[in-house]
Structure 1
Amino acid sequence: MEIDENGVLRLKGRIKAAKDVSFTLNRPAVLSGDSSIAKLIMKHYHERFNHGNHNTVMNEIRQKYYITSLRSKLRKIAHECQWCRINRSLPKMPSAEGDLPPERLRHHQPPFTCTGVDYFGPMSVTIGRRHEKRYGALFTCLTTRAVHIELAESLSSDSMILALRRFIARRGTRE
């Protein structure tokens, strides 16, 4: 560090040979992070770069100034900034979710009164000595989340109807 002709404490840079570098970039002024002028500079850069993240603002400040404990001071400025508090805050309440359908809310009803179906697979099933592809039909009760699994021969509608008939034979109809 050295003091220039104006009495400003400056860091000694190692890039004296660079021709297109400004004097302030080569020899940035050293400021205490607690000084009022440093706080004004940090606040100015924080607002000038649209309340950007700390690294962006730090990079721009260090082009001209070396401020001690810069990162923690920038965090404090962003924490006290009203714009940042409003626009970076998280909502206190979760976002509004849609209402459940009436089928999901039928209490005091036997399981599988309202049912959803989904397929999964394929699975390899051994029949005798040969292996065939089969699919699982997953029937779920929309109220109690109970599960019933049937084996379906294929993804065709005929195979679905047969799986549905087996499901009804086991569980019965409710209406």
Structure 2
Amino acid sequence: MRLSGHLQNTNIPVNERSPMILPKHHSFTTLGIIKAHHRTLHGGTQATLAYVRRQFGIVGRRSAVKSVIHKCIPYFRHTCRPQTQIMGNLPLERCKASSPFMHTGVDYAGRGFRAYKGYVALFICWATRAIHLEHVSDMTTETFLAASKRFV
């Protein structure tokens, strides 16, 4: 048996125009889903469903595809959930109210060309997240101390 739809007058192949109707729990259905899963390079449920839908009209296809995919070991190795990062506590200075720029952090940003390199020292307020930018010509200790002195 085959499905018939609105695509009877198109130039697509007969298997896509009128896919075969297959039962959910049949060995041929399982083999077709396994082939589609391998053709989609161990793709997920949506990718495998899209590939299967072009050839077969499976009754209850989503649950049939899921049951086959959940038995695939390479799929689960590559789609395992990443470990969650355990967040540390914020420093005390970051949590309590203080005047702006009483507690700061510093970072460097820069862009280098062949003729001239320029850097920016970013002073970041921990309480208000405001920033102060200072131009720095290079990344030596002397230029950082000069930028810090200008900041203060």
- TM-score where L is the length of structure 2: 0.55
Q: Secondary structure at the match of 2:15?
A: helix
1:12 matches 2:4:
yes
Residues matched between the structures, number: 109
Letter in 1 for 2:21: V
Alignment RMSD (CA, Å): 3.6
Matched, 1:42 2:42: no
C-alpha displacement of 1:31: 0.4
Would the aligned equivalents of 2:134 and 2:151 in 1 still touch at CA under 8 Å? Answer: no
Output the amino acid matched with 2:20: A
State the SS of the aligned residue for 2:5. Answer: coil
Structure 1 residues 20-68: Cα deviation after superposition (integer angstroms, max 9, x where no partner) = 2222222111001111110111011101210112222212211121011
| Distance in 2 of aligned mates of 1:117 and 1:16 | 70
Larger relative contact order, structure 1 or 2 (CA cutoff 8 Å, min sep 6): 2
C-alpha change, 1:163 and 1:48, in structure 2 (3 Å) is closer
- Contact 1:137 1:163 survives alignment (8 Å): no
- Answering whether residue 11 of structure 2 is matched by residue 24 of structure 1, we say no
2:2/2:19 contact within 8 Å kept: yes
- Amino-acid identity (%): 17
Unaligned runs of 5+ in 1: 1-8, 96-103, 105-115, 120-135, 141-146, 165-175
Letter in 2 for 1:117: T
CA shift in 2, pair 1:24/1:137, >3 Å = closer
Secondary structure in structure 2 of the residue aligned to 1:56: helix
* 1:85-143 alpha-carbon deviations (Å, 9 max, x no partner): 11111345759xxxxxxxx9xxxxxxxxxxx6348xxxxxxxxxxxxxxxx985x7xxx
2:44 maps to 53
Contact 2:43–2:75 at 8 Å: present in 1 too? no
* Structure 1 residue 117 corresponds to structure 2 residue 104: yes
The reply to whether residue 87 of structure 1 matches residue 78 of structure 2 is: yes
Give the Å deviation of 1:163: 8.0
Gapped regions of structure 2 (runs ≥ 5):
92-102, 107-122, 136-144
